[in-house]
Amino acid sequence: MIGRIPKIVQGHEIWLEYKKQNLNGGDPFECRLLYGHNLKKDGVAEAAKVTAGVFIGANDMQSLPVEAIDDDLRIRFVRDATVPQIVVSEYDYGVLTVNDDGWHRGPKKDYENVKRSGYYYQYAKTIVPGHGVEASSQAIGQELEIIAMGDGHYHVDEAITLKVLYDGAVLAGGALTVAVSGDNGQGLETVLGADGTAIVPLDQPGNWMFKVRHADPAKGVDDQYDEKVITSVLTVMNVH
C-alpha cells in the first residue's frame, strides 16, 4: 500500500531539459529527464518505466537508452544540425487504485471497496533547434501531443503558437498550463480554443513548459481501471 496520495495523482510530471550546447552536427548532446511539478524538480521517475527517442524528421525515430546518473535520468545522442530534432520520452507509470485503506499500485480487481482507479501515462517532448521548420512543427503521433509552430528558435517578447491533439484530433477547450523556470513551480492556465490552439506570449527569458493533462473514462478497462490519465509536456529551452 502506498498510503498518501501519490505525486503523479497530485499533478507531477516528467519533462526534458538541456543546457545550451554546441549545435554542430556530429557533436554529443545530452538531455535531462526530470520529474516534479511545473519545472520544479521533486523526485525521480522510475527508470524502468521510461523510454526515450529522438526524431530526425517527423517519421524517423531512433530509440535511445535512458541512464540513471546522480539523482536524475539522462538521454544522450549525437546531434544532427541539418534539421530540428525532437527528443521524446514516455513514462508508463501504470495503474493506481484507491479504496478505504488508501492508495495501491495495481488494478481495481485486486482490491475491495474501490473508490476509483486510473492508468497514468505521460509524454514529454522538447525541440533541439536546427535548420528548417518542418520537423519541429509536425505531429509525431503521441496519444496526447503539444505541437509548437515555428522552427524551435523562440525569443523574449515574441509569442508561441501551440496546437494540442488527442488521438490525432484537436483537443478543444482543454486547459493548458504554462510555467517558466525561476517561478518556483508556479503555473498559469489558459484555455485551448475551438481549434485546439493557444497563443502564449514569451514575456521573460528562461526555460518554458507547456502542459496538458487529460482524463478519459472511455479508455477505462473493466476490472482494471476506470480511466486513463494522460499528461503531455512540451519544453522550450533557452528563450532569450
Residues 6+ apart with CB under 8 A from 116: 97, 98, 226, 227
In this predicted model, what pLDDT tens digit does every residue of 95-125 receive, in sequence order? 999 999 999 999 999 999 999 999 999 999 9
Instruction: Count CB neighbours of 52 within 10 A.
Output: 24
Instruction: Provide φ and ψ at 135, rounded to 5°.
Output: -65, -35
Instruction: Provide φ and ψ at 181, rounded to 5°.
Output: -55, 145
Query: How far apart, in whole angstroms, are the C-alpha atoms of residue 162 and residue 72?
Result: 28
CA dist list (Å): 118 to 9, 66, 104, 208: 9, 26, 11, 28
Only one residue has cell 478543444, namely 172
Domain ranges of the chain: 7-239
Q: What is the mean pLDDT of residues 83-98?
A: 93
In this predicted model, what pLDDT tens digit does every residue of 118-159 receive, in sequence order? 999 999 999 888 765 555 677 889 999 999 987 667 899 999
Instruction: Specify the higher pLDDT residue, 155 or 232.
Output: 232
